[in-house]
């Protein structure tokens, strides 16, 4: 894992409207060549997030490899696979010597660092907010030699987010629903500050279970969450929905009692690519429905 002093890390300030954040992203030693106009022609993306971004940029012609978990859009299934997202085949990647490898999140930090020691150019990101996720689209587009495409795509996505923000601003804080993101059942895990899904909930008009100072992903107790009494629960695993509805501890919670337990595709909830805005819009509509029905 890279240290804070490693020159491959760069701190950036990102400004989108009134949302200002600071974070770190990987900058590998091939960036200068890419900035000078060299477009990587053989790209491997082991991160579904970046695979979707590459497709949205119209750059599928450069994509030669993906992980087994890259499933959107359908066209990416034609690519060679290099293991799963959780366990990529880094040696096969090195043997094929791509022009760029796209990695994502804390789980891939060591993978990204190791690939760079093998002189493999890497684009790695780990966004904490929606704004950072959109900025990553611009950064990846630049690496692909498609800066203008990236700017146009993000301009459209930001316009949609501004509409969501305007809707959220009209809801008084005391009337916003409590939303619980169910990640895992035993132990019970949810999102906190530093997880982009936490920010999606906030931008959509919801109140998160965890507050400032909590880790991005935290173990919590069923008793504490039930006592908090969430108004909406959303998840992306059907088996979790069944467990939730059967558990006597949750039976009288507002979300279960009123039928506001929502199952979303993992492609929407767990990926910080262009469809992160789709997720924010869908969650925003649920928030608006909840408010309009008198809470």
Q: Which of 28-32, 183-187, 249-253 has the lowest mean pLDDT?
A: 28-32
**pLDDT-above-70 percentage for the chain:** 86
Task: Judge whether residue 135 has pLDDT over 60.
Answer: yes
User: Mean pLDDT over residues 192-217, rounded?
Assistant: 96
Task: Judge whether residue 105 has pLDDT over 50.
Answer: yes
**pLDDT-above-90 percentage for the chain:** 84
User: Mean pLDDT over residues 174-203, rounded?
Assistant: 97
What is the structure's pLDDT at 16?
30
Strand-pair partners of 24: 11
CA-CA-CA-CA dihedral for 272, 274, 276, 278, to nearest 10: -160
Q: Using 50, 70 and 90 to split pLDDT, how confident is the model at 41?
A: confident
Region of 209 (left: φ > 0; alpha: ψ -120 to 50; beta: rest) is alpha
User: Mean pLDDT over residues 136-164, rounded?
Assistant: 98
User: Mean pLDDT over residues 169-181, rounded?
Assistant: 96
**Which one is predicted more confidently, 9 or 144?**
144
Asked if residue 54 lies in contact with residue 60, where contact means CB atoms within 8 angstroms, the answer is: yes
Domains of the chain as residue ranges with CATH: 9-158 (3.40.50.1980), 172-292 (3.40.50.1980)
Supply 112's token pair. 């990204």
Q: Using 50, 70 and 90 to split pLDDT, how confident is the model at 83?
A: very high
């Amino acid at each position: 894992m890279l240290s804070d002093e490693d020159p491959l890390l760069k701190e950036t300030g990102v400004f989108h409207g009134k949302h200002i954040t600071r974070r770190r992203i990987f900058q590998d030693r091939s960036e200068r060549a890419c900035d000078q106009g060299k477009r990587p022609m053989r790209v491997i993306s082991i991160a579904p997030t970046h695979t979707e971004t590459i497709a949205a940029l119209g750059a599928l012609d450069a994509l030669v490899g993906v992980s087994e978990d890259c499933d959107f859009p359908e066209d990416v299934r034609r690519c060679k696979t290099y293991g799963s997202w959780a366990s990529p085949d880094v040696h096969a990647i090195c043997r094929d010597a791509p022009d760029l490898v796209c990695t994502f999140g804390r789980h891939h930090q060591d993978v990204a660092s190791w690939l760079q020691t093998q002189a493999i150019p890497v684009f790695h990101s780990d966004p904490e907010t929606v704004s950072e996720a959109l900025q990553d689209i611009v950064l990846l587009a630049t690496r692909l030699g498609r800066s203008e495409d990236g700017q146009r795509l993000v301009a459209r996505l930001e316009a949609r987010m501004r509409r969501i923000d305007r809707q959220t601003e009209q809801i008084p804080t005391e009337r916003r629903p409590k939303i619980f993101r169910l990640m895992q059942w035993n132990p019970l895990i949810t999102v906190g500050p530093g997880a982009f899904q936490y920010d999606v909930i906030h931008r959509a008009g919801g109140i998160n279970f965890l507050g400032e100072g909590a880790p991005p992903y935290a173990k919590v107790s069923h008793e504490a969450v039930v006592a908090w009494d969430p108004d909406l629960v959303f998840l992306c695993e059907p088996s979790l929905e069944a467990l939730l509805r059967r558990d006597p501890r949750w039976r009288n919670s507002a979300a279960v009692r009123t039928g506001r337990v929502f199952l979303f595709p993992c492609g929407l909830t767990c990926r910080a690519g262009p469809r992160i805005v789709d997720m924010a819009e869908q969650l925003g509509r649920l928030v608006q429905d909840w408010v309009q029905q008198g809470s």
